[in-house]
Structure 1
Amino acid sequence: MTLEVTCRGMAKGAPPDPCVMVIFGVAGDLARQTLIPSLYGLACQGLLPEPFAVVGFARRDWDDETFREDMRQLVRRKKPFRETQWQKFARALTYVQGDFSAPASEAYATLREQIIKLQAERHIPDNILFHLATPPSFYAEIAQKLADASLLHSDRGWRRLIIEKPFGYDAASARELDRQLLRLMEEEQLYRIDHYLGKETVQNMLVFRFANPGFEPIWNRRYIDHIQITAAESQGIDNRAGYYEAAGVVRDMLQNHLLQLLCITAMEPPVAYDGLSLRNETFKVLQALEPVHVPSDCVLGQYGPGLVDGYPVAGYRDEEGVAPHSTTPTFVALKLRLANWRRAGVPFYLRTGKRLLRKLTQISIHFKPTPHLMFPVEDPGRLQQNILVFRLQPDEGIHHTFLAKQPGPDICVRPVKMHFHYNNAFGIAEPPSAYEWLLLDAMRGNQTLFPRSDWIYKAWSVVDPIIKHWEVQPSAELPNYPAGSWGPAAAAALITRDGRGWYTG
């Protein structure tokens, strides 16, 4: 398919105001594998503030030079690397050794001195972005120490704090975390990051739907049969057994990523593309969700040994650090319904899991067949598959399956696919990472793509009954799907009983 566009490459953008960014837990995987490479990616696009400084904070015995060299090796493996660009970026990196639990008068005082020094030397205004790339158990303590060290407020600039999921482990703990944080700062200072919302195709779904008048009028129960959201991972838990044993797939993926994708798909048109309007509409979607009847509309599972990409892999209970009789779920599929005018009668099928057949994250909109097909076809029900797919990974893009006439003397109707990919349309082989855009938004003070506290509480209220039901009545037949499959047989039955099937195209 030929795509004609009026421009190629990345759209230009303005860098945010000068600031200092402090990364707590900079020696951990998130900072080394994602945050620093994302900042380097922004630097390569000319989107970092000028002037700008990064202060890494961790217990590791580093100085500025060893910190920079460690980051250099990671960035070389993660991003297209140019030595001259790295040298310019590396000058922004500095390091403070310290313990998160140290008294505010010790490591946090040293951090404060380092920030003041950098602001003076580099003429940076008193704007500071803190990113807590730490276990969530440290969030409240770090915030309190920052407040005690007079780092959390300023009359001469702004302060913002980024935290990572999970935001609590249930509705009660999420509220308690917010109580601890919001007595120290305002909601407008708190940025809860969900990297799925920063993906190009998630944002493109908003543009596709609300900027093109041909699609929004049919985005309703009259024309849509059902909607599927899949987030499949072929990998296992890597070295995260400690976290995953406590979290499981429902807390790790369903409560945040999948429910966010559902809300973006199902929301009403916002008044404007801003933090208030968009987040008001996504919250309304959760308000409209009917309670999940767990025994009939939810399937949980755990992977056993199997083959992934032709290689044998261990089952979940055989992973290092996992209890031999663990009942932690690694797969969930469920059917959700919305009780509102636009979506009544349109089921949403969601699924996510570890060690599935292949990596695939997508939203597929399945349209109803025409009420009467005048063309002679053998199986009109099977043929009339109009499907709109928003692919998040791999190969981000938009795919549309529709019917067309095959050339020939007679009417021969065939399904065809139309593909939109960023490389073909804009010459961008791989869009920038979601974290790049979200870090940029945080520096700009734009909360549009960051979940709000009321959304977090409501999302927990949706999944808490699922978690509690599983904890009381876990399956006695675990593991119940082999690694390298599409999950438990019951997950297939969940959708086939309605005359539908999971879509992986």
Structure 2
Amino acid sequence: MASDDQTQTAGNPLRDPLDRRLPRIAGPSGLVIFGVTGDLSRKKLMPAVYDLANRGLLPPGFALVGFARRQWENEDFAQEVHDAVKEHARTPFREEVWQQLAEGCRFVQGDFDDDKAFEQLKSTIEDLDKARGTGGNFAFYLSVPPKFFPNVVQQLKKHGLSQGSGDSWRRAVIEKPFGHDLASAQQLNQIVHDVFPPNEVFRIDHYLGKETVQNILALRFANTMYEPIWNRSYVDHVQITMAEDIGIGGRAGYYDGIGAARDVIQNHLLQLLALTAMEEPGSFHPKALTAEKLKVLGAVVLPDDLGRYTVRGQYAHAWQGGEEVLGYLEEDGIDPRSKTDTYAAVKLEINNRRWAGVPFYLRTGKRLGRRVTEIAVVFKRAPYLPFESGATEELGENALVIRVQPDEGVTVRFGSKVPGTSTEVRDVTMDFAYGESFTESSPEAYERLILDVLLGDANLFPRHQEVELSWTILDPIEQYWDKHGKPAQYASGTWGPTEADEMLAQDGRSWRRP
């Protein structure tokens, strides 16, 4: 098994995979996808594998193995991959690339408790190793519900699949949610670490694979103009928003009982908070990045009054975008007595020298005004304005807004004089947009993350300590909500319950309207 130093590349996560001076091409390897018939695999994982191959970032002998209950032959699986690629791949379809990839496609049919199926998987991997030259290097992607994680990893150990021989490696890739509270996360981590060493476990948070999230590090640490004011002396507050304009769709079985806070705040938003607030790392080695994020998450404190500074809600029946939509409690498969939150907002603070006294407001929700994810760093007002009375009536607070999606880029809001003979100052914005500044399109998050798994580069993957600290933050909020009332109702197409607006208003602030 490769050592920690060998597997955890001390590379720069800001490095462009297309930069020919610093190529990042996977060596001999293969990927096994459990739950390969699911939506995630069809829409994201298989297209990402093809896009990597199309960009020349996978070895010619790359192997792709699907594992599921479907009664398919290898040819059926290859056709499924072909159809998924044609429909969802980001890069153009090229027949020669597809043919090379298809030669390495295999399928294993079986249940997660089926010993014969795992013996067949072992035999398939051994055959691919000889035919494709994978070097015994395989990553096992668990694209399955968390309740099946123990079955899969224990079967991999039982059948001798979890450890390579010699210099070869074996890795586990796990999709969120990483548990549903601290206790379950610790139990899950223990189960996985009993089979795979911690440095060979890659927890996927696809938000960390987005170019704009990685750009937080570039914006802060590759420039000198922001870091001097990135602290409590100049920042009034920070807002981190992930809004969706859709409902739960057909995910009632997964979503009910989980909710917005567990589904988004515990992972995506707390990771964005950590990247926004952390100190500059000594290097971009995974251990250095993790150390700084852990310091931030460990310094997060909850408000004394959770009733005033946390809000949960459920979307209600309404007209949205000219369409009549159901309320959450009316959705198929949802218990009409459900208390599951489809909206959550919390106020957090960070007890350290840089951020003491600066509130971080986090919010997420479904059926909101529009789909947007952003980080808004809102600065304090100037202590003195030497203008005539009324000249700055339309002047707000300076803000730097990192747009994660969908219009990826950065906006800076500042005051400017209005043209004319009188002095009037109002807000204007200066925009940077990825699509306008760079000719090449950004890779999808799963492209970057799958490539990093194959390279053993853990820069963009939360470690188990981060996961557990995040649950330590969220658990008291969830426990408070369980004991106090029901979620507030909000009309679909709005920006959440009025209680969320009141939460900021009592601090003399208001939510941004993205």
Query: TM-score with structure 2 length normalisation?
Result: 0.92
- Counterpart among 392, 396, 415 of residue 380 in structure 1: 392
Uncovered stretches (5+) of structure 1, i.e. residues with no partner: 1-7
Quickly say closer, same or farther: Cα 1:310–1:379, change in 2 above 3 A. Answer: farther
Structure 2 matches for 1:417-436, cutoff 5 A?
417-428=429-440, 430-436=441-447
Amino acid at match of 1:49: P
Answering whether residue 511 of structure 2 is matched by residue 499 of structure 1, we say no
Answering whether residue 472 of structure 2 is matched by residue 472 of structure 1, we say no
2:291 is aligned to 280
1:466 positional shift: 1.3
Q: CA RMSD in A?
A: 1.7
Answering whether residue 323 of structure 2 is matched by residue 308 of structure 1, we say no
1:218 is aligned to 229
Counterparts of 1:179 and 1:433 in 2: how far apart (Å)? Answer: 31
1:487 is aligned to 496
Uncovered stretches (5+) of structure 2, i.e. residues with no partner: 1-15
1:268 positional shift: 0.8
Q: Deviations over 1:118-148 (max 9, x none)?
A: 1101122111111000111111111111111
Answering whether residue 304 of structure 2 is matched by residue 295 of structure 1, we say no
Answering whether residue 51 of structure 2 is matched by residue 41 of structure 1, we say yes
1:415 positional shift: 2.1
Amino acid at match of 1:423: G
Counterparts of 1:14 and 1:311 in 2: how far apart (Å)? Answer: 46
Counterparts of 2:461 and 2:92 in 1: how far apart (Å)? Answer: 30
Q: Deviations over 1:396-425 (max 9, x none)?
A: 111111223344444443322111111211
Structure 1 stretch displaced more, 409-418 or 452-461: 409-418
Structure 2 matches for 1:22-421, cutoff 5 A?
22-79=32-89, 80-84=91-95, 85-103=97-115, 106-156=116-166, 157-292=168-303, 293-376=305-388, 378=390, 380=392, 383-421=395-433
1:181 positional shift: 1.5
Q: Deviations over 1:442-496 (max 9, x none)?
A: 1111111111111111111111111112222232xx5610111111000011112
Counterparts of 2:181 and 2:330 in 1: how far apart (Å)? Answer: 27
Q: State how many pairs are aligned.
A: 493
Counterparts of 1:109 and 1:118 in 2: how far apart (Å)? Answer: 14
Quickly say closer, same or farther: Cα 1:72–1:81, change in 2 above 3 A. Answer: farther
SS of the residue 1:150 aligns to: coil
Counterparts of 1:270 and 1:426 in 2: how far apart (Å)? Answer: 27
Query: TM-score with structure 1 length normalisation?
Result: 0.94
Counterparts of 2:480 and 2:391 in 1: how far apart (Å)? Answer: 42
Counterparts of 2:246 and 2:98 in 1: how far apart (Å)? Answer: 31
SS of the residue 1:376 aligns to: coil
1:68 positional shift: 2.0
Give 4+ residue runs of structure 1 displaced > 6 Å after superposition: none
Amino acid at match of 2:130: A
Kept in 1, the 8 Å contact 2:139–2:454? The answer is yes
Counterparts of 2:471 and 2:393 in 1: how far apart (Å)? Answer: 38
Counterparts of 1:421 and 1:504 in 2: how far apart (Å)? Answer: 19
Counterparts of 2:209 and 2:507 in 1: how far apart (Å)? Answer: 33
Amino acid at match of 2:131: E
SS of the residue 2:350 aligns to: coil
Answering whether residue 485 of structure 2 is matched by residue 463 of structure 1, we say no
Counterparts of 2:350 and 2:391 in 1: how far apart (Å)? Answer: 31
Quickly say closer, same or farther: Cα 1:114–1:291, change in 2 above 3 A. Answer: same
Counterparts of 1:348 and 1:199 in 2: how far apart (Å)? Answer: 22
1:49 positional shift: 2.8
Kept in 2, the 8 Å contact 1:304–1:479? The answer is no
1:285 positional shift: 0.8
